Amino acid sequence: MTEPRLITAESVTEGHPDKVCDQISDAILDDMIAKDPSSRVAVETSATKGQFFVFGEVTSKEYTEIPDVVRSVLRRIGYTSSQIGLDADSCGVLVAIGQQSPEIRQGVDRLSSESAADREAFYASQGAGDQGVVFGYASDETDVLMPLPITIAHRMAARLARVRKEGIVPHLRPDGKTQVTVEYGDDDRPRAINTVVVSTQHDPEVTQEWLREQILTHVITPVLDDLCGERVKHDDFRLFVNPTGSFILGGPAADAGLTGRKIIVDTYGGAAHHGGGAFSGKDPSKVDRSGAYAARWVAKTIVAAGLARRAEVQIAYAIGVADPVAIMVDTFGTESGATREEIEDAVRLVFDLRPAAIIDELNLIRPIYSKTSVYGHFGRDEPEFTWERPTRAQALKKAVSARRS
């Protein structure tokens, strides 16, 4: 008997120090785009006990009061008292923002949309904001076409924040992490939940036994029942809640935070490749972000069209060059009704993956990024997440049929 294949993914709550920094960076980006849609933004945030440092490069016609944005994010998360390690109204905020490099700008802003003679000229004129390799992935193992482990981990992390904010489970504090291990069968489909780990910050007066029961009842069981149903066995798994024994001190008071340090949490939980570039704090001229969103859009469309059960899309860019230098589609032998090569050729015909075209098609010049910065950029039914809509599934199927005829 062969050993079961185990895939593990983790997520973190909005109070985790790295995710706090992601949310601040994206809230700053949203404020700048809302005031000036032509803003070029590359903002990082770092955090430690009682202190935040916001730095990076920005070119914008408008002004953002960055300390106000930082404090607003912290209040929304729930860091409002020094008793839990962080008070939004008294923490320090340092800002060091410079302008975007003119050598980067010259490859990105050659024409404005107003001055382009037509859309084609505009799409050809705007190069990628940097070189880079991005990946998109989709799998039919969940309704949202995402890997099951990361989907469960995100839902548990979001549920953990919800029961704290709504008072369903009292005595919880903002910081927390989830982790799920799923057992896969010989058919490469999930068949059982193997292990669940939840670590949650809490008030000092609660017992770990009480906390374990509350988390199992109000966080873990509802999420597993919803996502696993009768398809995936989830009544006999190892459970660890606060494995160290307590978790009273959390957030930046316990562990320094930094934008872009949870890139696998942001994408597919390790079930697929990652290009290496972080998303948060970057405007969509940066293909680290817009290209990765487009790659997910393409991969999800392939699976939604029934052309494969799994699909991974790789796109490579050169700074200042509009057209991708390479596009690769991998269907892992799960393709149906077409070869991998035929699907890849159809993708090239149906999708315009130049940065300006992606930005237009997915409507990315909007203040939508704060929502993306926690609980995953993919696999969520949010109206702002245009890359989650496989709007070209029929066009892709037609292109494959034409390729085969």
Question: Which are the catalytic amino acids?
Answer: 16, 18-19, 44, 57, 177, 247, 255-256, 261-262, 282, 286, 288
Strand partners, 139: 310
How far apart CA 334 and CA 362 sit, in angstroms, is: 27
Residue partners of 322: CB distance under 8 A and separation at least 6:
123, 124, 125, 126, 127, 128, 354, 355, 356
State the SS3 of the chain: CCCCEEEEEEEECCCCHHHHHHHHHHHHHHHHHHHCCCCEEEEEEEEECCEEEEEEEEECCCCCCHHHHHHHHHHHHCCEEHHHCEECCCCEEEEEEECCCHHHHHHHCCCCCCCCCCHHHHHHHCCECCCEEEEEEEECCCCCCCCHHHHHHHHHHHHHHHHHHCCCCCCEEEEEEEEEEEEECCCCCEEEEEEEEEEEEECCCCCHHHHHHHHHHHHHHHHHHHHHCCCCECCCCEEEECCCCCCCCCHHHCCCEECCCCHHHHCCCCCCCCCCCCCCCECCCCHHHHHHHHHHHHHHHHHHCCCECEEEEEEEECECCCCCCEEEEECCCCECCCCHHHHHHHHHHHCCCCHHHHHHHCCCCCCCHHHHCCCCCCCCCCCCCHHHCCCCHHHHHHHHHHHHC
Going by C-alpha positions, the residue among 47, 96, 38 that lies closest to residue 70 is 47
